[in-house]
Amino acid sequence: MTASPKILVTCPPMLGMIESFRADFAAKGLELTAAQVTQTMSEQELIDLLPGFDGWIIGDDPASSRVLEAGACGKLRAIVKWGVGVDNVDFVAAKRLGLKSANTPGVFGKEVADLAMHYVSGLARHSFRIDREIRSDFAWPKPAGISLAGKNVGLVGFGDIGRNTAKRLLAAEMNLFVYDPYYQHQECIDAMQMVWPEGLGKMDFVVFTAPLTPETHHMLNVNTAKQLKDGVRIVNVGRGPLIQEAALVEGLASGKIHSVALDVFETEPFSPASQLRQYPDNIFGSHNASNTIDAVARVSKQTIAIIAEMLSDV
């Protein structure tokens, strides 16, 4: 009797609801192993572990050439990147090694856009800081915020997440400018295309939704940050390394940047020693923008079906 294919899951949102997916794995004839992981596993942990598995559902772990080679030397035959971002997966190495591979593009646009808009509003109205001071200091603060209507917002990235974010920004009556070399006009989205970093000096908000590529790495850095408008507010729900953290620290210290809202960071989890923590109006997430019960259930079931199909004819 053929043994059931063994599947390793290392994706934190999926792991957070893993009990609800056990029946789906069983129905597909797959044996589930849920990794113990907070954010990502290390290369060495994966090199030691993966050879014993037929399939791997990947979160933001380093699915490097070394890791995939180790897996392929064992039982590994198929990998699926859970979610949208694929910068952590060496798909070229996967193809070279004969591993079946896939991802799940275009699945979290609305969820991540919801959080991006939440952060824009939170920075504008100091709502996170007010909450913290009421809770920790029993204070009753009343800082004056800024209105969103009529403000200029630079949206970096116009993929699925960017387009959904654009709709929400426009609903707040903001003036929308898009930085994306592949921009294509969308019906009902009134936006002007810009070329990075031109025009940054008139943006009240800059919202990053772009993927991480060699071209987008550190696109906001200590040099480009000098072109920002004084008092700008910055949101990043894309990938941490889109922004050089040192540029944010320098900008906050000088007052060039009013505040930032980051769901993603250059190094994750977010360092306890980061100087960004010194600024009370900043908002920090835990790389959790896609993590809603509805979205995790939908994408996890899709991922299970994909890897089952991959392994059905291996």
Q: Give the residue numbers marked as catalytic.
A: 239, 268, 287
Q: How far from each other are the two terminal CA atoms of the chain, in whole angstroms?
A: 16
* Under 8 Å between Cβ of 95 and 101: yes
For 258, phi then psi, to 5°, come to -70, -50
Dist. CA 235–CA 219, nearest whole Å:
14
Per the DSSP assignment, residues forming a β-bridge with 161 are: none
Distances (CA, A) of 50 to 39, 70, 304: 17, 7, 18
Dist. CA 235–CA 168, nearest whole Å:
14
Single out the residue of 76, 68, 22, 28 nearest to residue 47, CA to CA. 68
